[in-house]
Amino acid sequence: MTNIKVRFAPSPTGWMHIGNTRTALFNYLWTKKMGGKLLLRIDDTDKVRSKKEYEDGIRDALTWLGISWDEEARQSARFERYDAVVAELKKAGRIYACYDTPEELEFKRKRLLAKGLPPIYDRQALNYTAEDIAKFEAEGRKPHYRFKLVDEEIMWDDVVRGVCKYDANKLSDPIIIREDGSYLYHLPSVIDDVDFQITHIVRGEDHVTNTAAQIQMFKAIGGKVPTFAHLPLLTGKEGKLSKRLGSLGVRELRADGIEAMAICSFLAKLGTSEAIEPFYSLEALAETLDFSKIGRSQPKFDEEELKKFNTKLVHNMPYSALKDTFGVSEVFWDDVKGNLETAKDVALWDNICNKEITPVMEDIEFTSLAADLLPKGDFNAETFNAWMNELKAKTGRKGKELFHPIRMALTAEANGPELKTLLPLIGYDKAYKRLKGEKA
């Protein structure tokens, strides 16, 4: 296909969580694989809850993940366009005013549910007389507006879910404008998708029912209906969507040292028939994108599994993936990466090996002897074992009793890369002084 265009349309009413991060990723990977374009559309019609700090956070998260976009739009700049379309749809009888109060609507909903019927709006508003409307307005009621669905079967071939069918007469006419005059998501999104020539909509399966109504909106305004792909929603390891999962986002994962490509690799393959393996570029990941391999069941997202996967990614990370980030040499990175939990830990070990630290002395008499036995000159991969064998023979120590005081004196850390790897990086002078209890 040619001229493919998708959109990622976050609402800046909160920080970007893991669910919409996954949606953004799939949209981006689709454009990369198919040679399309990505529109970043800020859905900021909610004037009360939309905040600049959230919008900035969304942009920052996308940029850090490596997700770029070709165009931008924001809904708050397009109200005149929405108003014009609404005026035409009112004339065509597809949008109508409703004066039902929230309490009245809730009563109707409960009554229908009690009868075992779907809680569909009864369209009582279509029968208002001029006297009814005058009475409502005299009471101070403000109308909300609904889009009138045409009684027909709504069908589309979903890229993920296959053929989807809905009977419009079993759906409620969706509210598109609130009592305060503000727009809900439904109609502005359709107008934007038409105006910006969106060809494919990739989003969560919680929008499937919205899609059924929106297909009629596309047709009502003379737009071409895009191709839809609805991704199964993530659930927590406990089997349901938790508040933690709903709030967990790029900010928190980034602060924990999770790599951008770990997040992208993990989310792209979670819930598919493919193994979750590390990728080190979005371009390479995009080449593997295959919607037919996405399962229908809701995948379980486990933050601890992501952290373990991140460690696996770090252990195999090529120097080219971080050479401009931490300023360490390729030799240093290759020597220590196999013992790191996060890539940012390399900065700690760079400081330990190359800058002054205060050693932690558990047994200064023992480590002083170790210093005296330390081979002089340049160290190599064999130095440590030869040194430990001599120290073991002199003292009779072995295991933790032998190694731990040495580690604490040399690094001031209880755990980390193997000492046989670190010793050549620290060098004789620093190692000798630290074993003697001196800063070095």
Distance CA 57, CA 52 (A): 8
**Per the structure block, which two tokens stand in for 327?**
């300023």
pLDDT given at position 324: 77
Q: Does residue 242 surpass a pLDDT of 80?
A: no
| Nearest to 27, CA basis, from 12, 10, 11, 6 | 6
Instruction: Tell me the domain boundaries of the chain.
Output: 5-72+186-234, 81-177, 236-319, 330-435
Q: Which residue has the tokens 């252990």?
A: 315
Q: Does residue 241 surpass a pLDDT of 90?
A: no
Q: Which CATH number fits domain 330-435: 1.10.760.10, 1.10.10.350, 3.30.1390.10, 3.40.430.10?
A: 1.10.10.350
Distance CA 4, CA 17 (A): 26
Residues 61, 64, 70, 73: what is their CA dihedral angle, to the nearest 10 degrees? 20
- Per-residue pLDDT tens digits for 6-43: 999 999 999 999 999 999 999 999 999 999 999 999 99
- Per-residue pLDDT tens digits for 362-393: 999 999 999 999 999 899 989 999 999 999 99
Contact 431, 410 (CB under 8 A): yes
Q: Which CATH number fits domain 236-319: 1.10.1160.10, 3.10.20.30, 1.10.10.10, 1.20.140.10?
A: 1.10.1160.10
Q: Which CATH superfamily is domain 81-177 in?
A: Glutamyl-tRNA Synthetase; Domain 3 (3.90.800.10)
CATH 3.40.50.620 fits 5-72+186-234, yes or no: yes
Average pLDDT in the 63-76 region? Answer: 97
Distance CA 220, CA 213 (A): 11
SS3 label, residue 328 = coil
Q: What is the pTM of this model?
A: 0.91
Contact 320, 256 (CB under 8 A): no
Contact 14, 246 (CB under 8 A): no
First to last CA, the chain: 63
Q: Quote the crossing angle between the two packed helices 400-411 and 419-426, to the nearest 10°.
A: 30
Q: Does residue 421 surpass a pLDDT of 80?
A: yes
| Nearest to 8, CA basis, from 38, 50, 52 | 38
